[in-house]
Structures are given as C-alpha cells and as structure tokens.
Amino acid sequence: MGSSGMSVRRPQRASSRQKFDALIAAARDVFAEAGVNGSLEEIARRAGVGIGTLYRNFPARQALLEAVYVDEVEALAEVADELGDLDPWDALAIWLRQFVEYATTKRAVVEGLNLDSPMFGACIALIHRAGEPLLKAAQDAGKARSDVGFEDVRLLINGIASSNFADDAQRERVIGMALDGIRARS
C-alpha cells in the first residue's frame, strides 16, 4: 500500500514486484494509446509476462485501471515533495506543469474509473495534500494571488488537460496564461 493509504498493494518478493511494476508501466502506455479498452494481452506482452500473471495481479480490468491511476497520483504527490528547496513560485509552476502532463495522459484511464468511488476520492484528496502546500508557500511569498484556492487551481488544470491542443507549444502557451492568472500582481 502506498503512502496515500490507497489500495495499490505491490508484492513483497522482488521478482513479483518487478512484474507488477512492469504491468503497470505497460498498462499506462497501452491505455494512453488505445483507451480503457486496450488489449490486456498487449499489456502482458509489453510487460514481458504471461496473461496469467496479469490476471493474478489484476483479476479485473477495473483493478488494473485503478492501479495505474493510483500509481500516477502517488508519483505526482512525490514530485511535490521533491520541490521544497525551490523558490515557491518556481515549485508551484513546475508542479502545475507536471500536473497538466499527468492529467492529459490520464484522460483515457479516468474514463474507466468510478468517479464516485472511495479510491477516486482518495486520489483527489492526495492531489490536494500535494498541491495545497505549494500554492500556500507561493501565496505566503507574495508570488501567487491570495484569493485563489487550490480547488480553483485543480479545476483550471483539469480544464487545460481536457483540451485538445494542436501541439505542445500551444499547450505550453495556455499553461503560461493560466500561471499568469494565478501569479500575484505587483
């Protein structure tokens, strides 16, 4: 179980854990390419395991979707922890860019999740626990608007992530405009 208290339980044995992690990585790629109905056989093949190993770890597609989602949210939260030594505005901007990247690539996975589930609620709570301190530090440093709450920022990022951009440069311009909207005016 991850530090978030959510339900991704990695096997204890190193070899089993390697296969588990390979399955999650392969599933992340296949779901990003083909959507939530991506081939489980293709996931097993890319992970270098048999289909039986996939089903032993994830008895249902939903379990695999949830594991991929939780794994990504936990990685996003870890990034927030790693930014503590940076300037508060830089830390917030870097994390928000990472959040956009995460949310953009997870659109397909989210389609297959029960958005009312305790797991999804725990993921949103973890995103808040990771992002709120970054926003607060930037606000305390006078670099982010004081009238903005983290839920406002999360919704803004979700809106950006749900857009279809012509290219990465256009997405970066839109992220820059969003950051300008969060930045405190001097």
Q: Looking at the domain assignment, is residue 154 inside a domain? A: yes
Residues 30 and 116 in one domain: no
Which residues span the domain enclosing 24? Answer: 9-59
The pTM assigned to this predicted structure is 0.78
Q: Looking at the domain assignment, is residue 116 inside a domain? A: yes
Residues 89 and 154 in one domain: yes
Distance CA 91, CA 105 (A): 21
Report the run of H or E that residue 38 belongs to, with start and end: none
Residues 52 and 75 in one domain: no
| Predicted confidence pLDDT, tens digits, the chain (186 residues) | 344 445 456 666 777 789 999 999 999 889 888 888 889 999 999 999 999 999 999 999 988 988 888 888 898 899 999 998 999 999 999 999 988 888 766 666 676 676 777 888 888 899 999 999 999 999 999 999 999 999 999 999 888 888 888 888 999 999 999 999 999 987
Q: Looking at the domain assignment, is residue 36 inside a domain? A: yes
